[in-house]
Amino acid sequence: MKKVLVLGGTGFVGGHVCEKLVRAGWHVTVPTRRTVNARRVQHLPGLTVFELDVHNEMALARAMAGHDAVVNLVAILHGDATAFDKTHVILVQKMLRACRTAAVHRLVHISALGVNGERPGSAPSEYLRSKGRGEAVLLHPADPADRPQVTSLRPSVIFGADDKFLNLFAKLQAVLPFMPLAGATARFQPVWVEDVANAVVRSLQVGRHAVFPQIVEACGPEIYTLRQMVQLAARLGGVNEGLGRPVLAIPDWLGRLQARMMELAPGAPLMSRDNLNSMKVDNVATGKLPGLQALGIQPAALQPIAGDYLGCGQVSHGLLGIRNRNRI
């Protein structure tokens, strides 16, 4: 049985990736900072969870030994430049060296739509800049002969029953009389988490010497503005009997003030100034790179799927539920 090490396998996307890998017959190993974070996946047959500081390069190389492939899903959404650099760039450099030490030849990495592959520094947010630099480390290493075969998937915003996005907007509107919204005109191409997970598994199944896309834009079939997605979340979640709430687009300065206040509150912020910066560029496919179709996947539309999970009464848990769900 082939073995794969999944970094970040305990998270939202990681849970779905691990489940599909197990179903596809892989033995899956998931390192985590704390075993308690692995509740989503630890019951899966053929999956091993253990505690590891993935930033410890020697320990990482030891953990990789005996595996055929590595999947990297580790990321943070909030933090300062040092934290983004440590998680999105330095960890990737360590991962690459550890792959060499442990003779792992295949690596699937989750990047993000909006990174600028040629000029990572030109992206508008620290999240996107650091994700872009990390991807560049993988795709353009100092010594190309000495790296694993890499596929980097660039998803737009990801939706699914346990997402932190549509659920959040539906829950917020369940408790607020109206929805103040910064970045209302930003455009996204939401992709279903199952499609992203399938893309990871299919990327791993490509034979070692086969031609495979290095970068895949993982997007759904439709483009929505943020305002449209917020309105959809409320409608599909049955907020205010399906009518939703008035969405009030707020100017950039007020959005930044709101985000600053959220950053000062304890716990992970619902929205940071860096998140707002990310929305300064459209989060839609360029069309210049292969999409999910290149991996044989016809991406699913948002409404039928989100209608199923938002419509089953989950949206009334209040603000405490919102903060807990967004803890990283």
Ligand X SMILES: NC(=O)c1ccc[n+]([C@@H]2O[C@H](COP(=O)([O-])OP(=O)(O)OC[C@H]3O[C@@H](n4cnc5c(N)ncnc54)[C@H](OP(=O)(O)O)[C@@H]3O)[C@@H](O)[C@H]2O)c1
Q: DSSP letters of 247-307?
A: EEE--HHHHHHHHHHHHHSSSS-SS-HHHHHHTTS-BS--SSS-BGGGGT--PPPHHHHHH
Q: Which stretch binds ligand X (CB under 6 A): 32-40, 202-210, 264-272, 307-315?
A: 32-40
Per rule CB under 6 A, is residue 285 in the interface with ligand X? Answer: no
Q: Are 147 and 105 in contact (CB under 8 A)?
A: no
Binding piece for ligand X, criterion CB under 6 A, among 18-26, 136-144, 151-159, 263-271: 151-159
Contact residue for ligand X among 4, 5, 6, 14 (CB under 6 A): 14
Q: Which member of 22, 76, 223, 250 binds ligand X (CB under 6 A)? A: 76
Determine which residue in the list 21, 71, 73, 297 makes contact with ligand X, applying CB under 6 A: 73
Question: According to the binding rule CB under 6 A, does residue 151 interact with ligand X?
Answer: no
Is residue 158 within the footprint of ligand X (CB under 6 A)?
yes
Q: Does 63 bind ligand X (CB under 6 A)?
A: no
Q: In the chain, what's the furthest Cα-to-Cα distance?
A: 59
* Residue 37 within binding range of ligand X, rule CB under 6 A: yes
Q: Outline where 90-186 has alpha helix (H).
A: 91-101, 126-139, 166-175
Q: Does 74 bind ligand X (CB under 6 A)?
A: yes
**According to CB under 6 A, which residues from 97 to 126 bind ligand X?**
110, 112
Q: Treating both helix axes as pointing N-terminal to C-terminal, what angle do 166-175 and 226-236 enclose, rounded to 10 degrees?
A: 70
Q: What is the rounded end-to-end Cα distance, in angstroms, of the chain?
A: 32
> Is residue 54 near ligand X by the rule CB under 6 A?
yes
Instruction: Kindly give, in sequence order, each residue whose CB lies less than 8 Å from that of residue 253, ignoring residues fewer than 6 positions away.
Output: none
Residue 163 zone, left/alpha/beta (φ > 0; ψ -120 to 50; rest): beta
Among 13, 92, 216, 230, binds ligand X (CB under 6 A): 13
Distant-in-sequence contacts of 268-272, Cβ < 8 A, 24+ apart = 268/77, 268/78, 268/323, 268/326, 268/327, 268/328, 269/78, 270/168, 270/172, 270/322, 270/323, 270/326, 271/182, 272/77, 272/78
User: Is position 155 an interface residue for ligand X (rule: CB under 6 A)?
Assistant: yes
- Binding flag, residue 11, ligand X (CB under 6 A): yes
Residue 75 engages ligand X in binding (rule: CB under 6 A): yes
Is residue 183 involved in binding ligand X (CB under 6 A)? Answer: no
Nearest approach, Cβ of residue 207 and ligand X (Å): 25
Query: Smallest gap, in angstroms, from Cβ of residue 28 to ligand X?
Result: 13
In this chain, which stretch among 4-12, 116-124, 134-142, 285-293 interacts with ligand X, using CB under 6 A? 4-12
- Note the residues at the interface with ligand X (CB under 6 A): 8, 10-14, 32-33, 37, 54, 73-76, 87, 110, 112, 155, 157-158, 165, 328
